[in-house]
């Protein structure tokens, strides 16, 4: 082989060499959570199998009321509809003093590894949380806990997987409800975050002629903009502004279909200063201008009236 041939061959070999492979790190997900359902009227004791936190969920039942318990020889009381989180070390014992029939509670033991960042916040505010982190169950918590109880009572492989998913959801939901962070990353106590999101929705419903901004709604309900936007979409499936637009347009349609209001009136009643802006928004949402809907309704209504009068005339004959 000539020198040029050798060079060509070497070049070909170089051209087809495989690029160096890149290794990617794998993330490990570990759920070190233990749980028990407490539903007997006798005193029950549970020893923590891990270092971490104990989370007591005490859902409201027909006859539920306060229930005493002991942790590290310290006495506490929990009421129906409340949840509490305490730090716990391996081997420490929970004594549950259930004296009422049909009362039940769910106890979770959660490892430090799962709640490492939360543990830091807890230790930084140890004086404030000396009696544990107590929260009231909102609608979402109640639904999650009821689902959890149902799956526990119907044990099978798939339900055990569902239980794991629900446990994580319940823990996350409680922790994100305990605080939010403002722009300065300061902790803001917020034990009823779901109620605040519902309050924001109710403010929208109360007067659809108002044009709330997200900062205004956040200020009214006592939270920050990012928190309101995130959790509003989580609970209601829409952004705040999309939800406002939807409710305004549905209300506008109802007003138009009464036949009692002009388009300019409906525009003002739904917070639009100019009829042209309202007409554009209405067409974008429904694909038809408001006047077309109004005329269609009036024609249909008039036709129905004429038919009714015609039927009455025929009956007279």
Residue 44: closest CA among 31, 61, 60, 56: 56
CA pseudo-torsion sign 166, 172, 175, 178: negative
Tell which CATH architecture fits domain 244-311.
Answer: Orthogonal Bundle (1.10)
Q: Partners of 37 in the beta sheet?
A: 106
pLDDT by residue (tens digit) across 67-119?
Answer: 888 998 888 888 888 889 999 999 999 999 876 767 789 999 999 888 888 88
Query: How far apart, in whole angstroms, are the C-alpha atoms of residue 49 and residue 110?
Result: 9
pLDDT digits (tens, 9 = 90+) for 217-262: 998 888 889 888 988 887 777 899 999 999 999 899 888 888 788 8
- At residue 8 the predicted structure's pLDDT band, cuts being 50, 70 and 90, is very low
**Yes or no: domain 33-181 corresponds to CATH 3.40.50:** no
Tokens 């689902």, located at residue: 147
Other C-beta atoms within 10 Å of 285: how many?
15
Query: Distance (Å, rounded) from C-alpha 64 to C-alpha 102?
Result: 8
Residues 109/52, Cβ–Cβ less than 8 Å: yes
The 10s digit of each residue's pLDDT in 9-52 is 444 444 545 556 677 788 777 778 999 998 877 788 999 999 99
Task: Place 310 in a pLDDT band, splitting at 50, 70 and 90.
Answer: very low
CA dist 117 → 74, 130, 175, 182, 186 (Å): 26, 18, 11, 17, 15
Query: Which alpha helices (DSSP H) does 109-213 contain, by range?
Result: 116-124, 139-153, 157-178, 193-206
φ, ψ of residue 6 to 5 degrees: the values are -60, -40
Q: Which two tokens stand for residue 11?
A: 């070049």
Q: Is-contact 104 37, C-beta < 8 A? A: yes
Please tell me what DSSP assigns to residue 155.
Answer: -
Strand partners, 282: none
Q: Residue 99: CA atoms inside 13 Å, Cβ hemisphere, count?
A: 7
Q: Domain coordinates of the chain in residue numbers?
A: 33-181, 192-237, 244-311
Per DSSP, helices labelled H in 27-101 are none
CB 252 within 8 A of CB 265: no
Model confidence at 213, in pLDDT bands (50, 70, 90)? very high
Tens of pLDDT, residue by residue over 143-188, are: 889 999 999 999 999 999 999 999 999 998 887 755 544 333 444 4
- Percentage of the residues of the chain whose pLDDT score is greater than 70: 78
Encoding tokens for residue 19? 């690029």
Instruction: Tell me whether the CATH fold assigned to 33-181 matches the one assigned to 244-311.
Output: no
The answer to whether residues 256 and 224 touch, using CB atoms and an 8 Å cutoff, is no
Do residues 61 and 105 lie in contact, with contact meaning Cβ atoms separated by under 8 Å? no
């Amino acid at each position: 082989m000539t020198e040029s041939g050798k060079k060509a061959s070497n070049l070909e070999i170089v051209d087809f060499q495989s690029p160096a492979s890149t290794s990617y790190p794998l993330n490990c997900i570990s759920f070190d959570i233990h749980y028990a359902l407490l539903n007997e009227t006798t005193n029950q004791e549970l020893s923590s199998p891990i270092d971490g936190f104990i989370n007591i969920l005490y859902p409201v039942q027909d006859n539920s009321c306060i229930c005493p318990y002991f942790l590290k020889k310290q006495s506490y009381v929990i009421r129906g509809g409340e949840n509490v989180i305490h730090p716990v070390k391996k081997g420490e014992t929970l004594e549950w003093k259930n004296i009422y029939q049909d009362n039940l509670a769910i106890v979770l033991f959660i490892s430090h590894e799962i709640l490492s960042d939360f543990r830091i916040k807890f230790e930084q505010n140890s004086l404030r949380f000396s009696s544990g982190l107590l929260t009231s169950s909102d609608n979402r918590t109640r639904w999650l806990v009821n689902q959890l109880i149902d799956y526990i009572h119907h044990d099978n492989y798939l339900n055990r997987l569902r239980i794991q998913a629900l446990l994580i959801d319940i823990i996350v939901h409680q922790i994100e409800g305990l605080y939010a962070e403002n722009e300065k990353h300061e902790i803001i106590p917020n034990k009823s975050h779901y109620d605040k999101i519902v309050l924001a929705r109710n403010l929208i419903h109360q007067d659809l002629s108002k044009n709330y901004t997200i900062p205004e709604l956040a200020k009214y309900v006592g939270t920050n903009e990012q928190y309101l936007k995130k959790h509003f979409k989580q609970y209601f499936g829409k952004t705040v502004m999309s939800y406002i637009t939807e409710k305004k347009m549905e209300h506008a349609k109802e007003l138009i279909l009464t036949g009692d209001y002009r388009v300019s009136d409906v525009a003002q009643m739904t917070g639009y200063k100019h009829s042209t802006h309202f007409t554009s928004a209405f067409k974008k949402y429904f694909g038809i201008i408001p006047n077309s809907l109004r005329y269609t309704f009036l024609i249909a209504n008039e036709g129905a009236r004429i038919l009714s009068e015609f039927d009455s005339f025929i009956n007279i004959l």
